[in-house]
Amino acid sequence: MDKTLLISKIKDGTVIDHVKAGMSLKVLSILNITGRENLTVSVGMFVPSKRLGFKDVLKIEQRSLERSELDKIALIAPDASISIIRDYVVVEKFSVALEDRVIGIIKCSNHNCISNTKEPIRPEFFVKSRNPLVLECIYCDREMFESEVLASL
Amino acid sequence: MIKNRSIASIDDISEDEMIEIFDLTEKMLSALESQKKLTPMAGKIMATLFFEPSTRTRLSFESAMNRLGGDVIGFSDVKSSSVSKGETLADTIRMAESYSDIIVIRHPLEGAARLAAKFTAKPIVNAGDGSGQHPTQTLLDLFTIKKEIGRLEKLDITLVGDLKYGRTVHSLLIALARLNATVHLVSPPTLRIPHHVLSAVSEKIDVTESDDLSKVIRDTDVLYVTRIQKERFPDSEEYQKLIGSYSIDPDVVSRMKKTSIIMHPLPRVDEIRPEVDTLPQAKYFRQAFYGVPVRMALIMLLLGGEF
Ligand SMILES: Nc1ncnc2c1ncn2[C@@H]1O[C@H](COP(=O)(O)OP(=O)(O)OP(=O)(O)O)[C@@H](O)[C@H]1O
Ligand SMILES: [Mg+2]
Ligand SMILES: [Zn+2]
């Protein structure tokens, strides 16, 4: 008996591989993919991986990613690799990058923080720790942990 | 050198810079005590932007600048300022920058001083931002401890009262974490220190939390008392009951070490009985008095005055 089941290749679109296991649904929500877009999407969850132990992987037809989406994915899946597929082949491949500062992507979880008002600035955080994720607001010093970052994405 | 720097948090000041500030504070103190007239800040203007009412801190800053021969402009009533017309803090700062050499700001929102510093090259001094930081209060608290206890190292310090909302306590705690102090936090359960403040220091130093002062009172070097505000309690009977169990009276003081001190950022209401004022441990009025020379020293160093 054949023990493998192949997911059919995508013609044009994006593969998001090496996503931290458990984060694929969050990635879909960052991309605003609800399943009602008439796009072929396959999601692999908790797939064995040499590098990560286990990983999630997403394959999305007819969709490219914007800078802001990549920045958000980097926050929750810092090891993710992105492959752009054209005519069934990988034409471009790169990793997401979590910079030392996170600017304009998420809001400070402190409601009483000046960065949540109409001042002419973007919310900004130092990356204090990558694993586990800890951000620190450059304005009010409040630390944001992964659960709060996830909630605000 | 802290010349031209903005001071938003006590962490913006290094150990060496703190020593420099305290050395100059000593000189300011003797100048004040000898009633010597000083003019190193003549021709300089300090703007005090108080978006939240305060008397003590504002008067202390203004007195410090006046004692140095400088001038002061500012507001302390948001209703009469352009803020009530919806101006951003960024714009208010850009305006104040062109009128002054140094800007002191108090604001109800956390991070306001850091934001202000982004919009001017002039030094900003945080005089309290929401429940965040109050670095000059912390400087004067530390100066008081240094002066009255004789050291800043190996302190056993108890912070009692409202540890939830008090920025004075949050700011001081950050400094104590750097000084390797042993800290006891004593408060009613509803007014405990916020998790995010505690988590920032609990890895660095020994911190205990409880609602019972009697356990720690005998060994503590510094008893730092803060006000429990009536407004925090919907039920005034509950407040009365509570305030009683945290009130410092001569009986409590009799259990403290002879060499220990009692501090309070003032204004004090019922937390410390007036009978305590004349006991040798009571240092809160001394502490308030140090506010002026400490701020004089800081202004001098930020603006590079010759003394
Ligand atoms: N046409 C396609 N349709 C769907 N998925 C594809 C297609 N082409 C490549 N992929 C997937 O895109 C990712 C990157 O492709 P690549 O051929 O570089 O894989 P790889 O050798 O596993 O690389 P890596 O070191 O990133 O794991 C892989 O997850 C692969 O399965
Ligand atoms: Mg692979
Ligand atoms: Zn913030």
Question: Is B199's Cβ below 8 Å from some Cβ in A?
Answer: yes
**Three-state DSSP state, B202:** coil
pLDDT of residue B280: 97
pTM: 0.89
Selecting from B9, B110, B199 the residue whose C-beta is nearest the C-beta of A114 gives B110
Question: Is A113's Cβ below 8 Å from some Cβ in B?
Answer: yes
Q: Mean pLDDT of all residues in chain B?
A: 93
Across the A:B interface, residue pairs with CB atoms under 8 Å apart total 57
Mark which residues 53-112 of A lie under 8 Å from B by CB. 108, 110, 112
Question: Is B253's Cβ below 8 Å from some Cβ in A?
Answer: no
Write out pLDDT tens, residues B160-181.
Answer: 999 988 889 999 999 999 999 9
Query: What number does the ligand 1 atom closest to the CA of A81 have?
Result: 26
| Residue of A47, A83, A94 to mutate, ligand 1, most atoms within 8 A of C-beta | A83
Q: Closest-lying ligand to the alpha carbon of A114?
A: 3
- Cβ atoms of A147 and A26 closer than 8 Å: no
- Cβ atoms of B156 and B131 closer than 8 Å: no
Paired tokens of B132: 């965040």
Q: Across the interface, do A143 and B88 touch by the CB < 8 Å criterion?
A: no
Give the single-character DSSP code of B122: S
Give the single-character DSSP code of B5: -
Q: Across the interface, do A139 and B133 touch by the CB < 8 Å criterion?
A: no
Give the whole-angstrom CA distance, residue A108 versus residue A98: 18
Q: Across the interface, do A120 and B88 touch by the CB < 8 Å criterion?
A: yes
Which chain A residues are Cβ-neighbours of B173 within 8 angstroms? none
CA distance B42 to chain A (A): 33
Average pLDDT over residues B267-287: 95
Measuring from atom 9 of ligand 1, which residue has the nearest CA?
A: A90
Question: How many CB atoms are located within 10 Å of the residue B189 CB?
Answer: 8
Paired tokens of B244: 């009683």
Asked if residue A59 has its Cβ within 6 Å of ligand 1, the reply is yes
Write out pLDDT tens, residues B118-128.
Answer: 999 999 999 99
Asked if residue A50 has its Cβ within 6 Å of ligand 1, the reply is no
Distance (angstroms) between ligand 2 centre and the Cα of A81 equals 10
β-pairing verdict for A41-49 and B261-263: unpaired
CA distance B74 to chain A (A): 21
Selection from B58, B44, B52 nearest residue B89 by Cα: B52
Q: Which of A74-78, B141-145, B244-248, B292-296 has the lowest mean pLDDT?
A: B244-248
pLDDT reading at A91 higher than 80: yes
Selecting from B90, B110, B200 the residue whose C-beta is nearest the C-beta of A113 gives B110
Give the single-character DSSP code of A127: E
Which chain A residues are Cβ-neighbours of B109 within 8 angstroms? 112-114, 117
Reported ipTM exceeds the 0.95 cut: no
Write out pLDDT tens, residues A101-116.
Answer: 999 999 999 999 999 9
pLDDT reading at B208 higher than 90: yes
